[in-house]
């Protein structure tokens, strides 16, 4: 689509949220020494994140790491073409060798989910601040260890739940939620009806020569290799992810928590399974619902990777129900619908900034409607690195949303509601469930322990 086909955000305020922070940060850092950056995981979103960082700060990308040689070489060429120095980064097969240099200010981690914890912990141990993709861990103890390590080494860690930096959602937070237009909110609904679960059933095959499947599998169970594993469709398997709940629910749950200033859920319950798409090799659910009980606020999740969405305008979204009005919101837009005749409807839309970042229009695989959100997330990270404060999606916030999402999957598997105690980091009165908080690691990899970072 061309620039003229896009509708800009509903108000000038929304644009200001996206651009003023960038301008202010850039002016304040014009004379600063460029920060040295490394990326672990050079696939789809690794490049999306890194290239947005390059857009908002004169960083020097000096290191890239991936177990796919082709992907790594392609990323090195792209980075050289986009960063100011035009230098090609060093490339690494093993993230431990990259971090051994201890010369990086910022490390971005965009590996598959089962590889988030160990590189993130190693990066903060090496003295770097970190941007790590969601979810924080593939199991709860991993996530606890990541939080503990970040605090022990006093590093700034931003999690890739970038709804918190989405311009039109910031507008909705300020103009609708904080303005009191919803009134008392007692219920939120979050959902995903995308047909995103792989329906393939390919045969077992030999991994391509340029791809180190052994290292890629790492601490996860070793599955027979098929073309579904790499790249991008690994989320079809629970061995590497937490399914659609760990991919899509976490985003919308985190957005609701941010909007309503919610902490930990008191109880989590979930039901679901593979009800329709039984022929696929995928072992993640095609249908699942969950209830996150925050006391006076209940948050209901539903995903279904088949059939139609109840509201085609909001197939992946959150809806806040208040006694004065309703807020529907997604990555593309929001709508506020007042209750009664006195209120005024409001709308905001995703911000596109092609005038400032024309490369967004042609960049391969870029989700153009979220580019401004990722830029905002990067700016927020950079600002907090300067003042050593907590970023908007601090590791603790990512840990809460990740843990809640994993608890939903555990509840579904066990067939019962789970009560979470954040003080002890455990499930109340359920020894069987607590045994599932950490997945077994495949040797020689060792599961991180939060007690090691006290």
| CA separation for the pair 317, 327 (Å, rounded) | 10
pLDDT in tens, the chain (454 residues): 333 333 333 334 444 444 444 555 555 555 578 999 999 999 999 999 999 999 999 999 999 999 999 999 999 999 999 999 999 999 999 999 999 999 999 999 999 999 999 999 999 999 999 999 999 999 999 999 999 999 999 999 999 999 999 999 999 999 999 999 999 999 999 999 999 999 999 999 999 999 999 999 999 999 999 999 999 999 999 999 999 999 999 999 999 999 999 999 999 999 999 999 999 999 999 999 999 999 999 999 999 999 999 999 999 999 999 999 999 999 999 999 999 887 899 999 999 999 999 999 999 999 999 999 999 999 999 999 999 999 999 999 999 999 999 999 999 999 999 999 999 999 999 999 999 999 999 999 999 999 999 9
| CA separation for the pair 325, 340 (Å, rounded) | 8
Strands (DSSP E) contained in 263-332 are: 267-273, 287-293, 298-304, 316-322, 325-330
CB distance 372 to 166 below 8 Å: yes
Strands (DSSP E) contained in 17-152 are: 36-40, 60-65, 90-92, 106-109, 129-132
Q: Lay out the sheet containing 267-273: strands in order across.
A: 346-349, 333-338, 325-330, 316-322, 185-192, 298-304, 287-293, 267-273, 418-421, 426-427
Domains identified in the chain and CATH numbers: 3-162 (3.40.50.720), 164-361+395-440 (3.30.360.10)
- In the chain the first and final C-alpha atoms are separated, in Å, by 51
Which 3 state secondary structure label does DSSP give 70? helix
DSSP state, 158? Answer: E
DSSP string, 328-353: EEESSEEEEEESSSSS--EEEE----
Q: Is the torsion defined by CA of 242, 243, 245, 246 positive or negative?
A: positive
| Count of all residues that appear for the chain in the document | 454
What count of other Cβ atoms lies within 10 Å of the Cβ of residue 112? 24
User: What pLDDT is recorded for position 13?
Assistant: 44
Q: What is the pTM of this model?
A: 0.94
Q: Are strands 316-322 and 185-192 parallel, antiparallel or unpaired?
A: antiparallel
Here the tokens at position 121 are 């912990």
């Amino acid at each position: 689509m061309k620039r003229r086909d896009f509708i800009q955000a509903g108000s000038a305020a929304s644009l200001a949220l996206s651009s003023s922070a960038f301008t202010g940060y850039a002016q304040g850092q014009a004379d600063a020494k460029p920060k040295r950056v490394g990326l672990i995981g050079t696939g789809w979103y690794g490049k999306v994140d890194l290239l947005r960082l390059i857009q908002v700060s004169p960083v020097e990308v000096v290191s890239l790491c991936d177990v796919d040689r082709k992907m790594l070489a392609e990323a090195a060429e792209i980075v050289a073409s986009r960063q100011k120095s035009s230098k090609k980064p060093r490339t690494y097969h093993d993230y431990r060798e990259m971090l051994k240099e201890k010369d990086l200010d910022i490390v971005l981690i965009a590996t598959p989910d089962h590889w988030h914890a160990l590189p993130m912990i190693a990066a903060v141990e090496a003295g770097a601040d970190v941007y790590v993709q969601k979810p924080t861990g593939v199991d709860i103890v991993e996530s606890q260890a990541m939080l503990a390590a970040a605090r022990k080494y006093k590093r700034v860690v931003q999690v890739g739940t970038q709804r918190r930096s989405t311009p039109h959602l910031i507008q909705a937070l300020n103009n609708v939620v904080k303005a009191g237009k919803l009134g008392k909110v007692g219920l939120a609904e979050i959902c995903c009806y995308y047909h995103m679960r792989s329906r393939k059933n390919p045969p077992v095959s030999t991994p391509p020569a340029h791809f180190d499947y052994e290292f890629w599998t790492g601490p996860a169970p070793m599955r027979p290799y098929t073309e579904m594993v790499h790249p991008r469709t690994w989320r079809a398997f629970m061995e590497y992810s937490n399914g659609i709940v760990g991919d899509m629910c976490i985003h919308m749950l985190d957005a609701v928590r941010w909007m309503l200033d919610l902490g930990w859920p008191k109880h989590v319950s979930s039901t679901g399974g593979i009800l329709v798409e039984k022929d696929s090799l995928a072992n993640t659910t095609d249908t699942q619902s969950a209830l996150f009980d925050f006391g006076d606020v209940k948050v209901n999740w539903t995903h279904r990777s088949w059939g139609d969405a109840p509201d085609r305008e909001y197939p992946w979204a959150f809806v806040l129900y208040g006694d004065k009005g309703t807020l529907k919101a997604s990555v593309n837009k929001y709508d506020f619908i007042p209750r009664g005749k006195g209120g005024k409807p409001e709308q905001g839309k995703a911000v596109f900034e092609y005038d400032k970042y024309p490369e967004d229009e042609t960049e391969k695989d870029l989700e153009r409607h979220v580019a401004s959100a990722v830029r905002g997330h990067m700016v927020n990270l950079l600002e907090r690195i300067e003042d050593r404060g907590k970023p908007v999606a601090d590791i603790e916030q990512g840990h809460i949303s990740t843990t809640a999402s994993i608890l939903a999957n555990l509840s579904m598997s066990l067939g019962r509601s789970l009560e979470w105690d954040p003080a002890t980091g455990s499930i109340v009165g359920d020894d069987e469930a607590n045994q599932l908080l950490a997945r077994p690691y495949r040797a020689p990899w060792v599961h991180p322990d939060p007690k090691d970072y006290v």
